[in-house]
Structure 1
Amino acid sequence: MTAIKVIKVIGTSAESWEDAAREAVRRAGESVDDVRGIEIEKWTATVEDDDITEYKVTSEIAFPVREREQ
């Protein structure tokens, strides 16, 4: 049986929400192994002078819990 752990990660991008989601997965993968899924909770953006300057996604990243080594 596999247990799954979920962490909340906010990804950002100057290009798009899709790039922000990819950034969230990439950054999570730097500190956890075997990322298995992402669920986007919220899509937001920073607006300056009537233009979007930064896309943001608040996401939950899922990965398996590792068993302790004996």
Structure 2
Amino acid sequence: MTAVKIVKVLGTSTESWEDAAHEAVAQASETIEDIHGVEIEDWTATVEDGQITEYKTTVEVAFPVHHQQ
């Protein structure tokens, strides 16, 4: 049986929510090995003068717990 750990990562982008999600996964993969899946938890944005200036996506990143031997 494999245990899975889940962490939340906030990605940001000036382009889109999808780009923010990609950024979150890319950044997480720099320090987390063997990412198996993600779940988009929340989409938010910063608005200035009636325009979206920054897209934010909260992503839950899932990866297996590796036991040290």
TM-score, structure 1 as length reference: 0.93
* Offset at residue 66 of structure 1 (A): 1.1
Q: Could you list the runs of 5+ residues in structure 1 that have no partner in the other structure?
A: none
* Offset at residue 67 of structure 1 (A): 1.7
Matched, 1:62 2:62: yes
Question: Over aligned residue pairs, what C-alpha RMSD do you find?
Answer: 0.8
Which letter maps to 1:66? H
Q: Could you list the runs of 5+ residues in structure 2 that have no partner in the other structure?
A: none
State the aligned residue count: 69
1:24-63 counterparts in 2 under 5 A?
Answer: 24-63=24-63
Matched, 1:9 2:9: yes
- Aligned-partner Cα distance in 1 for 2:7–2:57: 14
- Aligned-partner Cα distance in 2 for 1:53–1:66: 39
- Aligned-partner Cα distance in 1 for 2:37–2:27: 13
1:38-68 CA deviation, whole Å, 9 max, x = no partner? 1111100001111111000111100111120
TM-score, structure 2 as length reference: 0.94
